[in-house]
A and B are shown apart, each in its own frame.
Chain A
Amino acid sequence: GNSVTQMEGPVTLSEEAFLTINCTYTATGYPSLFWYVQYPGEGLQLLLKATKADDKGSNKGFEATYRKETTSFHLEKGSVQVSDSAVYFCALSLPGDNYGQNFVFGPGTRLSVLP
């Protein structure tokens, strides 16, 4: 079946450190890939996405490249800030039946950035 695996958290970094959160997927077909972020007490917000192989999604200093050969979509940021502390979810979507789409989320990785 379709699934998403993320590195286990929590990840704790000092401000201005480099961030990598690994994400790999298993899917039948060619999924679109997403990173969502969830701040405390809030819903999920789209951070970035890529819809085909070799596409790079980027937003707010975060980047992720769709790597079909390694079935990966790792999230990176060159210099994290305290305000980046949140839970990050990797997700994929595939066409479903009846004109729908199947969205599958990873378990999330909690990031804590210390001043």
Chain B
Amino acid sequence: EAGVAQSPRYKIIEKRQSVAFWCNPISGHATLYWYQQILGQGPKLLIQFQNNGVVDDSQLPKDRFSAERLKGVDSTLKIQPAKLEDSAVYLCASSYLGVAGNTIYFGEGSWLTVV
């Protein structure tokens, strides 16, 4: 079974530039998550989708971050304009259903450095 796919794996941009990350979840998984992981910390949820609807985006900095999941499959996370503090790993994850106890599966992450 193919895992969660993410691209690009690595990106270096200057502050105030924009960047987009793409995620393809495991086939059949209705729930998709984007997490931000700053070096030395645990992942922090940015946004959660159930199919193509947003379940939770309470921690998404909406002035600069946006995400969409058209057609309920692939998702894109965009940052515009980027700040230095956005340097982190952006992890996409998916689960069959977004119910408690369900395992979520992570991709390898997209590593962003803002200089």
Contacts and interface: CB of A to CB of B under 8 A. Distances in A.
A89 interface: yes
A41 B43 CA distance: 14
B14 interface: no
A99 B42 contact: no
Interface in B1-50: 4, 31, 33, 40-45, 48, 50
Contact of B31 (A31, A95, A100, A106): A100
B41 A101 contact: no
Contact of A108 (B42, B56, B93, B98): B42
A43 B108 contact: yes
A47 B44 CA distance: 19
Nearest to B45: A103
* Chief secondary structure at chain A's binding surface: strand
A44 B43 contact: yes
A41 B41 CA distance: 14
A95 B99 contact: yes
Interface residues of A, number: 30
B50 A100 contact: yes
A18 to B, nearest CB: 25
B99 A98 contact: no
Interface of B: 4, 31, 33, 40-45, 48, 50, 55-56, 91, 93, 95, 98-109
